[in-house]
Structure 1
Amino acid sequence: MAEEIKLLVVDDEDRIRRLLRMYLEREDYVVDEADNGSDALELALTNNYDVILLDLMMPEMDGIEVCQELRKEKNTPVIMLTAKGEEANRVQGFEVGTDDYIVKPFSPREVVLRVKALLRRATASNYSEVDTQAKNILVFPHLTIDHDAHRVTAEGKEVNLTPKEYELLCFLAKTPDKVFNREQLLKEVWQYEFFGDLRTVDTHVKRLREKLNSASKEAAKMIVTVWGVGYKFEVETV
């Protein structure tokens, strides 16, 4: 019997919560609800949700504050729901660890598809290196990526990454020294068009570097900016 998938829907509008619950329960997901940020954070910290749908503007604590506090303890995938579609709001959400972003008004079917896409990426490393057991672990100077354990260590210290940060790192690391532009990374890592919001990539690279740097400055330097083009994973030669 398949393990149940648990979601948390957080929005101060009862109508939106009911609508999302109806569509998500059709997919046999187990859905909890919260109508404010404080209750949402308590639920998120005491339960192991597979995805959290989190409204930005809420009473008591807004979505940014909830995500900031959540990321201190857990890397649960988060999709931010908001009526504010300006670039600054999207970037702010990504800076605190949001994995995806949906602007209201939205199609409930689109939300379901985004949830499914995020679940696939959070529960499996969808790379092609499964033909040999050795390829389940990528070992570089200063950095090790263990696909089976879904774990990254730098200089022996574990680095806690969100699912999107982990996938971005893995995607770059599996083809060292190959340069990818932002459009390619959006397509390959995010798996859908992001309305040209290239800052999404920059923000995730920044957060990835910061987290790697906290464990190893040398590991952080492996994520290289190729000015005017994009990014690559660079392995030092001995």
Structure 2
Amino acid sequence: MNRRILIVDDDKEIAGLIEIYLRNEGYDTGKAHNGKEALAKLGEDDFHLAILDVMMPGMDGLELCRKIREDNPMPILMLSAKAEDMDKILGLMTGADDYMIKPFNPLELIARVKALLRRTYQLQTETASRDGGDKIRIGALTIDKTTHTAEADGKPLHLTSTEFGILLLLASHRGRVFKAEEIFQQVWREKYFDSNNTVMVHISNLRDKLEHEIGDKLIATVWGVGYKIDG
């Protein structure tokens, strides 16, 4: 199955170059040059991943990411010319799964795209095959390993693929404390690097959603060690 990727960048030359790289790897693509156009395309067609530029006139990439996240859990990779940590954190807090700085290496971009798609869709298939469709229930929360979804009292939780991966990992090993490095390596399936605050940001987002829907952040911090969900 060919994965379809939406590229959103007001710089048509950059959008065109990204499209060439992706098509050379066998992906189908769609392009938009502003937030309004991107939302229209998402309403017309199914996409498996979106690449969003942060700095766009009108609706910027952060606002677009927020709007996409209202009803779409597909992985989102954000691109920005800003390299500061706070800009990266802000991008992740709005719901992005990954963040790259411009100018970027095309090979790294392709690697990030492949990793996001693999983590989102291959993990779902592997989990269903391995666990036979079992569900995990923690109070009002139900986690369905087969459909890669979670519900609170029957109401769907709108989680990104990364958030779901973290929740499934911790819920599947209740009581065990996972270091941020372990979570990153198991969910992202990449090598962890020092000063990586990506896990912290995603867990913060996940906790907020859980607290809003079930009244409990559920994920406990073991200071100086890591994170866990109690059994």
Verify same fold: TM over 0.5: yes
Q: Match of 2:154, as an amino acid?
A: G
Q: Distance in 2 between matches of 1:234 and 1:124?
A: 28
Identity among equivalent positions (%) equals: 37
Gaps of 5+ in 2: none
SS in 1 for 2:123: coil
Q: Match of 2:155, as an amino acid?
A: K
Tell me the equivalent position of 2:80. 82
Tell me the equivalent position of 2:140. 142
SS in 2 for 1:208: helix
Q: How does 1:89-168 map to 2 (within 5 A)?
A: 89-125=87-123, 130-131=129-130, 133=132, 136-168=134-166
Q: Match of 1:37, as an amino acid?
A: G
User: Which one of the candidate residues 28, 31, 38 is aligned to 1:30?
Assistant: 28
SS in 2 for 1:52: strand
User: Which one of the candidate residues 58, 61, 82 is aligned to 1:60?
Assistant: 58
Gaps of 5+ in 1: none
Tell me the equivalent position of 1:198. 196
Q: Distance in 1 between matches of 2:24 and 2:52?
A: 20
Q: Distance in 2 between matches of 1:80 and 1:194?
A: 19
Q: Match of 2:139, as an amino acid?
A: P
Tell me the equivalent position of 1:233. 229
Q: Distance in 1 between matches of 2:15 and 2:143?
A: 38
Deviation digits for residues 97-119 of structure 1 (CA, Å, limit 9, x no counterpart): 00111111111111111111111
Q: Distance in 1 between matches of 2:85 and 2:192?
A: 12
Contact 2:131/2:145 (<8 A) preserved:
no
Deviation digits for residues 40-76 of structure 1 (CA, Å, limit 9, x no counterpart): 2222333221010110101221100100111112122
SS in 1 for 2:143: strand
Tell me the equivalent position of 2:68. 70
**Aligned positions, number:** 230
So what's the TM-score if we normalise by structure 1?
0.88
Q: Distance in 2 between matches of 1:131 and 1:86?
A: 40
Tell me the equivalent position of 1:46. 44
User: Which one of the candidate residues 13, 19, 22 is aligned to 2:11?
Assistant: 13
Q: How does 1:163-182 map to 2 (within 5 A)?
A: 163-182=161-180
Q: Does 1:208 align with 2:203?
A: no
So what's the TM-score if we normalise by structure 2?
0.91
CA 1:96/1:130 → structure 2, altered by over 3 Å: closer, same or farther? Answer: same
Q: Offset of 1:164 from its aligned partner?
A: 0.7
CA RMSD of aligned residues (A): 1.9
CA 1:184/1:31 → structure 2, altered by over 3 Å: closer, same or farther? Answer: same
Q: Distance in 1 between matches of 2:77 and 2:194?
A: 18
Q: Match of 1:107, as an amino acid?
A: N
Q: Distance in 2 between matches of 1:197 and 1:43?
A: 37
Q: Distance in 2 between matches of 1:230 and 1:45?
A: 39
Contact 1:45/1:73 (<8 A) preserved:
no
CA 1:179/1:63 → structure 2, altered by over 3 Å: closer, same or farther? Answer: same
